[in-house]
Amino acid sequence: MRMNAMLLEKLKALECSLQGPKRNDREWLEQILHHEFTEITRSGMLIDRAQTIESLVGEVCALTIFSSDFRLIRVSDDAAILHYRTINADGSRPALRSSCWECSHRGQWTLVFHQGTPEAVSE
């Protein structure tokens, strides 16, 4: 159980690094995104690693994003899925997110897959 808590904190920090200043850092993105990384964007588009890196490096003014409700599913010793919620600082664009992480033989966790889906509004 303790190992899962430690892994949750590690992956949470890596995930949140992609929402901060490192979001525009090409070197960091090339290090953290798995060579076969793909993403299904919040708007439903499938994009690859190169498209993701170019998009993030080219962002001029990224909005502040708040993340919460992190949950970890340990798939194996070297694979995990992270589920969480995000919302922009202004309260807009709530989303449910999932990220699949893989650990290399050198102990480096990389992001293999990410999906963001608009959160349903309760009535």
Distance, in Å, from the CA atom of 99 to the CA atom of 38, rounded to the nearest integer, reads: 10
Quick: pLDDT tens for 52-67.
Answer: 999 999 887 767 888 9
Query: Is residue 3 pLDDT above 80, yes or no?
Result: no
Q: What is the pTM of this model?
A: 0.89
Q: Which domains does the chain have, with CATH numbers?
A: 2-118 (3.10.450.50)
Which helix (H) or strand (E) segment holds residue 27: the answer is: helix 26-32
Per-residue pLDDT reduced to its tens digit, 13-56: 999 988 887 888 999 999 999 999 999 988 899 999 999 999 99
